[in-house]
Structure formats: C-alpha cells, structure tokens
Amino acid sequence: MEINRKIYTDIEQGSEEWHTLRIGKITCSNLGKLFTGGKGLTRLAYLQEITYQRLTGESVTGFKSISMQYGNDTESSGRFDYMLNSGTKVEEVPFCDYNSFFVGSPDGLIGSDGILEIKCLDYKNMFEIYQNPDYEIDKNYYYQIQGLMLVLDRKFTDFYIYHPKLGHWLKRYERDSETCNKILIEVEKANNEINEIVNKIKEKTMDGHISIPARRLKTICYVSDGGNHRKRAEKEERERRLENYACRVANNRCIFSDEKVPPGAFNLRSD
C-alpha cells in the first residue's frame, strides 16, 4: 500500500474543514467496522457510506448521542488532566493522512514516539472500570489506536479514560506489528471494494443517468429514536431536492440543476 503521510495543524478537529478532509476516506475511528464478524452487515454499511461520499462529495450525517457529545465537550479537560498528572506536554494534531484513502485524528502527540487517546466516559462506565482490576479497552478502541500508530508511525499510545469528578484510568499500549499488518490488509481490501462499487455504478449508467427509487432516498431523512421516528433537520430540504431537482455528479461533488425529476426517481447525472 502506498504511503504518503501528511500532518495537518492549521485546522480544528470537528470543524467543517476537518469533516471535509474525511469525506470518502477510511478513518482509524471506524477500523473496528472492518473486523466485525457475523454476516458482515456492519462492514457492508460502512463501505456503502464511503462509496456514497466518493460519488457525491457529501458527508453522511450520523446521530450523535448525549454521551458522544459529552465526550467531545470534555476532551480538552481530559487532555489538560493528563498533562497535569503525567508532567508530559501534549501536542494537538487534528488530522493526519497515511495516504489518499486512509486517515486518522489523534487527540494528541507525546514526544516523538507517542500518541494520546482520550475517552471521556460517564460515571457508570467509570464505576465498571474501577470495579474490574483486569479491565481492557473495547476491541474497536484497540483497532483505532493501532491504526493511529500506523498512520503516524508511532511506537505507543497512552489510553486515557477520564471523568471530571471521578478521576482517570491510564494504560500504555505498544504498537503491535501483527495487528498493524492486518489493518493494512483490510484497509486496502476495503478500498478496492469501494472503488469497484463506484466503477460499477458509473458503468451501469445510461447516458450518464443513475435512477434511485425515491423511497430509498427518503429513508436517510429519518433516524431511529427509542422505537419512534423523528425527522432530521434537513428532511424538508432533502425532499425539496428529491421532487424538484436533478443532481449531476461532477468532479466528485454534487451540482444541482433546475431540471424536473420524473415522479418516483432521483437522477444522479454525470457529465
């Protein structure tokens, strides 16, 4: 697999520019989805998400739970707490490329060899950690930190679980060459599959048109919420586009025209 590392320091993690850089790329935070067992539905769903991003140049907005938002809001406090307790300076690096399709976003860099990964959990999870002397991180987190060490060519990760009132849990994980090799194989395999899907979609177009049933697109306007369905904020805009516009895929982005779409279909048009 090609290696073309690049570190971005002039953007903010979570910003619009940060989200744009992630479009169409496999990220370390999602590596666990490539290693799921069973029927592979989680993996398939992730590949479809990346495929959609590459075809349209649009990000897929996901549901953010209260705990996820809490983690984002508390991360900076966790970073400061780590520096205070360890006496170690942490350099913030919001985004890194391994190559054109594999990227990562560490919570910080430690010296020349380390990475800091922070998870801010609620009190119930903290109690579970404290009551279990043999606690180990979730396998998805493990793939994430191994992927980050691969992307940044680092030797260890300090995994720091933090709660502002209940303290912290810290464990250092070394880079595992065997796991990193598995990640490289799975990432390249996934990227090839995504490219194959993208090419097949383009090949099956008739005069550059792709028709998708309206009922399929409308499903993205809803998210599950405790058994009930609520509308996303962009539902009205999506339905307006669905009924009144055609979308032309050009230069890996969407451009809307005033052409009327036939009832029941949404045309993706490429030049």
pLDDT tens, position by position, 119-166: 999 999 999 999 999 999 999 999 999 999 999 999 999 999 999 999
Q: Is the pTM of this model over 0.85?
A: no
Report the 3 state secondary structure along the chain: CCCCCEEECCCCCCCHHHHHHHCCCEEHHHHHHHHCCCCCHHHHHHHHHHHHHHHHCCCCCCCCCHHHHHHHHHHHHHHHHHHHHHCCCEECCCEEECCCCEEECCCEEECCCEEEEEEECCHHHHHHHHHCCCCCCCHHHHHHHHHHHHHHCCCEEEEEEEECCCEEEEEEEECCHHHHHHHHHHHHHHHHHHHHHHHHHHHCCECCEEEEEHHHHHHHHEEEECCEEEECCCHHHHHHHHHHCEEEEECCEEEEECCCCCCCEEEEEEC
Exposed, middle or buried, 232 (CB in 10 Å: 0-12/13-18/19+)?
Answer: middle
Segments of the chain scoring below 70 in pLDDT: 61-68, 70-71, 205-271
Q: Which amino acid is at 28?
A: C
168 in the same domain as 115: yes
User: Looking at 132, 158, 189, which one is the last position of a domain?
Assistant: 189
- Token pair 């020349």 is found at 112
Domain count, the chain: 2
CA 148 – CA 176 distance, rounded (Å): 12
218 in the same domain as 170: no
In a domain, 221, yes or no: yes
172 in the same domain as 226: no
Q: Which pLDDT value is given to residue 202? A: 81
In a domain, 200, yes or no: no
Q: Which pLDDT value is given to residue 59? A: 83
260 in the same domain as 147: no
In a domain, 199, yes or no: no
Q: Which pLDDT value is given to residue 172? A: 97
In a domain, 261, yes or no: yes
219 in the same domain as 93: no
Q: Which pLDDT value is given to residue 62? A: 61
β-pairing, 26-27 with 102-104? Answer: parallel
112 in the same domain as 32: yes
User: Looking at 143, 163, 189, which one is the last position of a domain?
Assistant: 189
Q: Which pLDDT value is given to residue 266? A: 39
Q: Which domain holds residue 263?
A: 207-270
172 in the same domain as 227: no
Structure tokens at 195: 């490219």
CA 157 – CA 160 distance, rounded (Å): 9
Q: CATH number, domain at 43? A: 3.90.320.10
In a domain, 231, yes or no: yes
163 in the same domain as 37: yes
167 in the same domain as 103: yes
Q: Which pLDDT value is given to residue 74? A: 81
CA 185 – CA 214 distance, rounded (Å): 37
Q: Which amino acid is at 233?
A: A
169 in the same domain as 226: no
170 in the same domain as 41: yes
152 in the same domain as 230: no
In a domain, 1, yes or no: no
